[in-house]
């Protein structure tokens, strides 16, 4: 067993992901990647093929090359929706509204899609990543909202893994690795203050969790206090936990030990 200074156990691991990677957000994503830079922690890049209906990522000159360079340096690519935006029609009732509008600002593209449409978007997204020369083995639904139609469509692909906010999930047998995420909501000052409190509480609550994930979003780069908070969390984790790529958690499962496993 590896133990760090002060007797702190380094049995626990952490994984960093950058959400909403697209040509339009690449500058902000690059600023987030700089937070990882001394020590070069590898990250999972969640790529959106046509973010908010913008240009197809594989048709934007130079973008594929940027991503291939990151992969060569150790990062992994995950497919993250197709448009990212939830355009599946009006919410059905107050619970559906809360889930799809209040919580996510209508960013849950795969929350309410019918299976055929989800399958079409998955195929188009995979074609786009393949055209950029990127290998991909996982799909993460925007806002982690994977509706039943999308779930069925996903089972028809060759992809191996997906994720919810609190777990990594193998698609074909549904097996899970507990992996709570920290995430900032940056849409307004009160949400940022609330996020700071929620994340502090989750850090405490999941302090013994074998794997904690840090989910960084391009919008975080626009708020110095959010960048500072990430810098502090990443600095602490570098001393107390081992870095790992999200979907290597299945391969490294036997090594993921901790009192809050499950
Ligand atoms: Zn996203």
Residues 162/140, Cβ–Cβ less than 8 Å = yes
pTM of the predicted model as reported, rounded to 2 decimal places: 0.87
Report yes or no on 260 lying in a domain.
no
- What is the rounded CA–CA span in Å between residue 205 and residue 212? 11
Domain encompassing residue 164: 11-247
**Interval between CA 105 and ligand 1 midpoint (Å):** 11
In a domain, 252, yes or no: no
Please count the structural domains in the chain. 1
63 located within any domain: yes
Are the CB atoms for 175 and 169 separated by under 8 Å? yes
| CATH number of the domain where residue 77 is located | 3.20.20.370
Asked whether residue 178 is assigned to any structural domain, the reply reads yes
Q: Does residue 183 form part of some domain?
A: yes
Is 3 part of any domain? no
User: 80 alpha carbon to ligand 1 midpoint, in Å?
Assistant: 7
pLDDT of residue 28: 96
C-alpha 144/C-alpha 82 separation (Å) is 14
Tokens of 6: 């002060």
Q: Widest CA span of the chain, in angstroms?
A: 54
Residues 6+ apart with CB under 8 A from 52: 24, 83, 84, 85
CA distance 262 to 259: 9
pLDDT in tens, 28-50: 999 999 998 877 789 999 999 99
The verdict on residue 85 lying in a domain is yes
Cα 160 to chain centroid distance, Å, stands at 15
Residues above pLDDT 90, as percent of the chain: 65
pLDDT average, residue stretch 136-156: 95
What is the 6 CA–ligand 1 centroid distance (Å)?
Answer: 37
Residue 224 falls within a domain, yes or no?
A: yes
- Centre of ligand 1 to C-alpha 187, Å, is 14
Phi, psi of 60 (to 5 degrees): -90, 115
């Amino acid at each position: 067993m590896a133990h760090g200074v002060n007797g702190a156990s380094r049995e626990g691991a952490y994984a960093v992901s950058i959400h909403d990677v697209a040509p339009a957000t690449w500058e902000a994503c690059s600023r987030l990647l700089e937070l990882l830079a001394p020590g070069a922690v590898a990250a999972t890049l969640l790529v959106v093929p046509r973010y908010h209906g913008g240009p197809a990522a594989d048709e934007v000159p130079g973008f594929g090359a940027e991503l291939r360079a990151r992969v060569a340096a150790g990062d992994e690519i995950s497919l993250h929706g197709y448009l990212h935006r939830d355009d599946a029609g009006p919410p059905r009732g107050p619970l559906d509204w809360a889930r799809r509008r209040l919580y996510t600002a209508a960013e849950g593209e795969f929350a309410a899609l019918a299976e055929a449409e989800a399958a079409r978007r998955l195929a188009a997204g995979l074609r786009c990543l393949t055209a950029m020369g990127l290998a991909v083995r996982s799909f993460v639904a925007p806002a982690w909202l994977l509706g039943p139609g999308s779930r069925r469509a996903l089972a028809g692909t060759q992809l191996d893994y997906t994720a919810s906010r609190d777990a990594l999930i193998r698609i074909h047998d549904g097996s899970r690795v507990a992996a709570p995420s920290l995430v900032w909501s940056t849409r307004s000052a009160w949400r940022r203050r609330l996020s700071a409190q929620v994340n502090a509480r989750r850090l405490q609550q999941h302090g013994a969790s074998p794997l904690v994930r840090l989910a960084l979003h391009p919008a975080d780069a626009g708020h110095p206090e959010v960048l500072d908070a990430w810098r502090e969390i990443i600095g602490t984790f570098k001393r107390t936990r081992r870095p790992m790529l999200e979907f290597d958690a299945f391969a490294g499962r036997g090594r993921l030990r901790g009192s809050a496993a499950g």
